[in-house]
Amino acid sequence: MANFGIAGLDWQQRINWERLRNYRLERAREKMKAHGLGALLLMYDENVRYVTGTLTPGWNRLKPGLRYAMLCGDDKPVLFEQGDLGFQIERHSPWIPKENVRYSYAWIKGAAGPASSQQVKKFTNAVKQEMKKSGVAGAKLGVDFIDINMLKVFADEKIDWTDGMTAMMEARAVKNVDEQECLRMVGAIGDGAHWEFMKALKPGITENKLTAHIMEYLYATPGMEDVEDVIVSSGPNTWPNWRNFSDRIIKPGDIVFMDLAALTWNGYKSCYYRTYCAGKEPTKDQKEVYATALKWLYDSIKAVKVGATTKDIASKWPSAQEAWGYKEEDQAAANLWGHGLGLAQYDQPVISRIWSLDHPIEIKEGMVFALETQHGRKFEWGVRIEEMLIVHKDKVEIISNFPVEQITVVDPMPGYSTISGR
């Protein structure tokens, strides 16, 4: 439904948060056991949130070691929160038993220096204690992050550790009905942001002013948690894709695109490109190039179904050599690709001709991902488009609904027509 609040009813359930938390926890536990792990030590934000249902504050994100969580055997997760912030967890997150909230033994990667080894020793002792409490002492420990200090102390303490990130990626790959509804919300917010962008776009405005406007719009939206990035590129910045914004002034006839990269609602993230033309109709060449990119996109969407593989999808895209004359696929890494969406912007599956042709992943019901294509003329202009979708048993649901059939033309001059392809 993608609505906020109550719509003329005493109660209308859209997202069952308890069911969502329980589903995520059991998925993590299931994959932990499938990989032969006795426990998981989780330090990445998306994994901590997946098993604990707790928010990672902005200043805490992407800093493994400040807060972390453990899942040991069949026991409830244990959250190691930074310092006395654990009291807020007790207050706001009653689904975690009070006795399972600890203070973290934190270090700041790359900043604490020699002090890190001291902290990691305390950290490691706490990990061992939790495993002992849960009866999995000596079992294999899956970790999603490790640094040089942990390597040394883990070796000294004879911790039997291995990759735990793969188990978590497998867990996060399939979304239940509640997670899917969260992602519909993300899509609806993205629809609104693109509409707002269309209204604000005009010749004379700069890329960074447009970016600021959309950031303000998004943070004014009720429930918007975080915006990792808004990418606005125009004119020659669109091909190759600059993937940033600048102080470039947009001129009449410029191709402009915007990406909503990881706008976040209750942890769930977007990736959502659309292409615009400001003040003039696009040229015949621009329209044809866009039509080509759109065909690549929808050919790949048509290949999405339960039981298909990422190879089936990637095979619908031309090679980098065919499309742009590049010698290697790696040079066009993000020009034609797809990636899962969830609590991380890059959940499984991640789809590219670089690896998907040789290492296919099966498409499963409940996967949510984005597919994107782009095309253009070097240092002149380029187009980029992206759709977000949910895989159902018998269909694909597109949750990005801003028009995509053609370049969105914004306020062309009345009666203006292109002359000689200009």
Q: What is the pLDDT of residues 239-259, one digit of tens each?
A: 998 888 999 999 999 999 999
Q: What is the pLDDT of residues 184-237, one digit of tens each?
A: 999 999 999 999 999 999 999 999 999 999 999 999 987 788 898 999 999 999
Amino acid at 230: V
- 252 Rama sector, left if φ>0, alpha if ψ -120 to 50, beta otherwise: beta
362 close to 290: Cβ distance less than 8 angstroms: no
Q: Give burial (CB, 10 Å; 0-12/13-18/19+) of 183.
A: buried
Strands (E), 115-201: 141-143, 161-163
Q: What is the pLDDT of residues 152-162, one digit of tens each?
A: 999 999 999 99
Count of beta carbons in the 10 Å neighbourhood of residue 89: 20
Confidence of residue 141 (pLDDT cuts 50, 70, 90): very high
Distance (Å, whole) CA 160 – CA 338: 35
Distance (Å, whole) CA 411 – CA 101: 55
Nearest of 286, 279, 289 to residue 253 by alpha carbon: 279
- Helix, coil or strand: residue 294: helix
Strands (E), 195-286: 224-234, 255-265, 268-269, 273-278
80 close to 99: Cβ distance less than 8 angstroms: no
Which pLDDT belongs to residue 197? 97
Q: Give burial (CB, 10 Å; 0-12/13-18/19+) of 215.
A: middle
pTM reported for the whole predicted model: 0.93
Which pLDDT belongs to residue 4? 56
Domain boundaries, the chain: 17-172, 174-410
Nearest of 225, 191, 201 to residue 56 by alpha carbon: 225
Nearest of 29, 60, 32 to residue 46 by alpha carbon: 60
- Helix, coil or strand: residue 223: coil
Distance (Å, whole) CA 343 – CA 174: 12
421 is written with which tokens? 């392809």
Which pLDDT belongs to residue 110? 67
Nearest of 224, 162, 231, 243 to residue 197 by alpha carbon: 231
- What's the half-sphere exposure (Cβ side, CA atoms, 13 Å) at 316? 25
Q: Give burial (CB, 10 Å; 0-12/13-18/19+) of 69.
A: buried
Above 60 in pLDDT, residue 401?
yes
Q: What CATH homologous superfamily does 174-410 map to?
A: Creatinase/methionine aminopeptidase superfamily (3.90.230.10)
Residue range 176-180: mean pLDDT, rounded: 98
Q: CA 27 from chain center: how many Å?
A: 19
Residue range 310-326: mean pLDDT, rounded: 97
Share of the chain above pLDDT 90, in %: 82
Which pLDDT belongs to residue 420? 47
If one looks up domain 17-172 in CATH, what number appears?
3.40.350.10
Which pLDDT belongs to residue 242? 85
264 close to 227: Cβ distance less than 8 angstroms: yes
Above 80 in pLDDT, residue 60?
no
98 is written with which tokens? 């009070």
> Could you give phi then psi for residue 339, rounded to 5 degrees?
-160, 150
352 close to 337: Cβ distance less than 8 angstroms: yes
* 226 CB-near residues (< 8 Å, 6+ apart): 58, 262, 263, 264
Q: What is the pLDDT of residues 326-355, one digit of tens each?
A: 999 999 988 999 999 999 999 999 999 999
Supply the DSSP string of 12-32, one letter for each residue.
Answer: --S--HHHHHHHHHHHHHHHH
Q: What is the pLDDT of residues 367-386, one digit of tens each?
A: 999 999 999 999 999 999 99
